[in-house]
Chains A and B, each alone.
Chain A
């Protein structure tokens, strides 16, 4: 059974850096074809894809946020970390991490999701 859980600060001051951790079980990022992505959802708004890391350390980023994002993995801890710089109140959202399979050879779907963590950006 695949599970994922997000953790990190609930409140961030504008201009600060956000570090979120996704701790997962039921799979390994050493398994061929596996990936973990981050998606966010502002309150009452739509989903937005942020970044993804694959088993081979290939990384993909949203073009509009690429300059502010870094995704890394700690395979020994079964964790994926997302770093977002220069936070703004518009970055207030629930942040989800999710599991994906590289079955189609490209970015595709997320078949298991964490419960999400709400991050508020405010002074």
Chain B
């Protein structure tokens, strides 16, 4: 099972919006609405930010939103803040009855 494709890095200025893409196939992202997104600071465990494409867990800022079109899922962060600087990973259920993660995206807040 190949990893989902994410851009290695994205950047934005405080207050701006950025979008991180996560591209898979019809056997994972495109075939199921089981895409989630995780935020990870250096040396820390990942934190769930979005599940089932567009749902936010309790306590996650509404500046974070998720969507999907075809085989590509997206995470959008609006009103970018310095504290958003972190690595972000997507994951998806697959037809192999498994989970696959993306390669990760480093977000830099300029």
Interface residues of A (CB under 8 A from B): 37, 39, 45-49, 52, 60-64, 96, 104, 106-111, 113-116
Which chain A residues border B52 with CB–CB below 8 Å? Answer: 104, 108-109
Q: Is residue B51 contacting chain A, with contact meaning CB distance below 8 A?
A: yes
Number of chain B residues whose Cβ lies closer than 8 Å to a Cβ of chain A? 26
Contact B48 A48 (CB under 8 A): no
The digit string for B28-46, where 1 denotes a CB below 8 A from any CB of A, is 0000101010100000111
Q: CA A39 – CA B89 in complex, angstroms?
A: 13
Q: Is residue B103 contacting chain A, with contact meaning CB distance below 8 A?
A: yes
Which chain B residues border A45 with CB–CB below 8 Å? Answer: 104
**The residue from A96, A108, A116 contacting B93, defined by CB atoms under 8 A apart:** A108
Which chain B residues border A107 with CB–CB below 8 Å? Answer: 34, 93, 97-99
Q: CA A119 – CA B23 in complex, angstroms?
A: 30
The 11 listed contacts between A and B (C-beta, < 8 Å) are: A46-B102, A49-B99, A52-B99, A62-B98, A106-B32, A106-B93, A108-B34, A108-B51, A109-B36, A110-B38, A114-B45
Instruction: Answer whether A46 and B48 are a contact pair too, CB < 8 Å, given A104-B34, A109-B36, A111-B57.
Output: no
Shortest distance from the beta carbon of A33 to any chain B beta carbon, whole Å: 15
Contact B89 A49 (CB under 8 A): no
The digit string for B82-99, where 1 denotes a CB below 8 A from any CB of A, is 000000010101001111
Q: CA A37 – CA B36 in complex, angstroms?
A: 15
Which chain B residues border A37 with CB–CB below 8 Å? Answer: 99
Q: Is residue B1 contacting chain A, with contact meaning CB distance below 8 A?
A: yes
Q: CA A108 – CA B51 in complex, angstroms?
A: 8
Q: CA A114 – CA B46 in complex, angstroms?
A: 9
Contact A60 B97 (CB under 8 A): yes
